[in-house]
Amino acid sequence: MNFKLKDIVPQLITVIAVVLIFGFFTYNAQINMENRGIDFGYGFLSQESSFDVQFSLIEYDGSHSYFRAYLVGLLNTILVSVIGIIIATILGVVVGVARLSPNYLINKFAAFYVEFFRNIPLLLQIFFWYFAALRALPLPQDAEAMFGVFFLTIKGLYVPAFIWENFNIFFYSIVAAIIAIILIRAHAKKVQANQGKQIPVFLISLGLIFALPILSFLIGGVRLSFEIPVLKQLATTSFIYEGGVSLPPELIALTLSLSLYTATFIAECVRAGIQGVGKGQKEAAASIGLTPNQVLKLVIMPQALRIIIPPTTNQYLNLTKNSSLAAAIAYPDLVLVFAGTALMQTGKAIEIVSITMFTYLTLSISISILMNWYNKRIAIQEK
């Protein structure tokens, strides 16, 4: 045996110390809970929750279990995070590129946007969008229709609902289009490698993704009709819209504030990424005859992305965790529904807070794994 004792001992001591500290806290909590007559257990998850939630992606009411209420909150958190990440990314890339624009007005406007929104606390922005901007919205009966079918009111955004016939055929046509695009791309790559010929993949893809679904309407028997929201009177001065889909103002305010806030940070990541690619790279690419588009796509972006992705991952994580501020404006996310109402009704503080923490941990780690995988894919492949 050749291991050195002095290498093992410190590690062993550390492990023992960590175990002891955790053990002490667990024991302490147990004793204190016992003294105060508080039971510990996860059995409550299957009990009837007996409270309703304003907005849910799955079927839920108070007759369902606490576990179902947990799922409702989790899905709402994921919903607002995913929408927020998509909008923040698009906006962040646009603003980041705009900050490098030679156009003075665009450049300064982008800079102003970044400095303004990233320097105001997020909670304040959420309150602003919810309370200040919401108050300015009209009551349902005063709302003007946008394009004749959208109604933006203080009680939410009402949009027409899609009513499909033969939706599955429409869906298959899109899947077919995507598969065709992937095949064509592979083929184009091969052709370019073998014969040096360029195939306009982008235009063909665009055509496919529109043509196939349209064909499904023409010959596949797919029908689409809309259910337009209709004003309904509840009392002399209280109205709502019926039919269609309603998006609660809480969701809109939260998504808006989260994406506007996070987009500023992503914009800075994008700017840093593009500026981090040496000027010589661009000039060298241009000198071998690549078009400006190809320079961006084949030379600048692959290198810039390596700089952009890791800090942007952080921003995605921040956005997901910041979505827990939803509790302030009544958006029923995981914290409001589960760590709020459910915790109050059951009194199972330790159980519920630990489940909630574990859930956020899982969400964040999933995002990290996904982004790290993508980062690895675009990283320099050492040969």
Residues that bind another protein (CB under 8 A): 33, 35-39, 50-54, 61-62, 131, 134-135, 139, 154-155, 232, 234-238, 240, 242, 248-250, 327-330, 332, 336, 340-341, 343-347, 349
Q: Which is nearer to another protein, 157 or 343 (CB)?
A: 343
Report the nearest approach of another protein to the CB of residue 121 (Å): 17
Q: Which is nearer to another protein, 273 or 332 (CB)?
A: 332
Question: Whole-angstrom Cα distance, residue 82 to residue 351?
Answer: 27
Report the nearest approach of another protein to the CB of residue 102 (Å): 44
Report the nearest approach of another protein to the CB of residue 42 (Å): 15
How far is CA 352 from each of CA 28, 69, 254, 333, rounded to the nearest angstrom? Answer: 18, 12, 24, 14
Q: How is residue 337 written in tokens?
A: 């529904």
Q: Which is nearer to another protein, 206 or 245 (CB)?
A: 245
Report the nearest approach of another protein to the CB of residue 319 (Å): 21
Q: What angle do CA 154, 160, 162 make, to 5 degrees?
A: 145
Report the nearest approach of another protein to the CB of residue 35 (Å): 6
Tokens 């914290």 belong to which residue?
335
Question: Whole-angstrom Cα distance, residue 210 to residue 174?
Answer: 9
Q: Which is nearer to another protein, 53 or 299 (CB)?
A: 53
Q: Which is nearer to another protein, 33 or 201 (CB)?
A: 33
How far is CA 216 from each of CA 160, 161, 162, 182, 184, rounded to the nearest angstrom? Answer: 22, 20, 16, 20, 21
Tokens 């603003």 belong to which residue?
95
Q: Phi/psi at 238 (nearest 5 deg)?
A: -125, 125
Closest by CA position to 158, among listed 140, 136, 180: 140
Q: Which is nearer to another protein, 33 or 215 (CB)?
A: 33
Report the nearest approach of another protein to the CB of residue 32 (Å): 8
- Does the CA dihedral 130-77-113-95 come out positive or negative? negative
Question: Whole-angstrom Cα distance, residue 153 to residue 139?
Answer: 6
Question: Whole-angstrom Cα distance, residue 157 to residue 9?
Answer: 63
Report the nearest approach of another protein to the CB of residue 166 (Å): 31
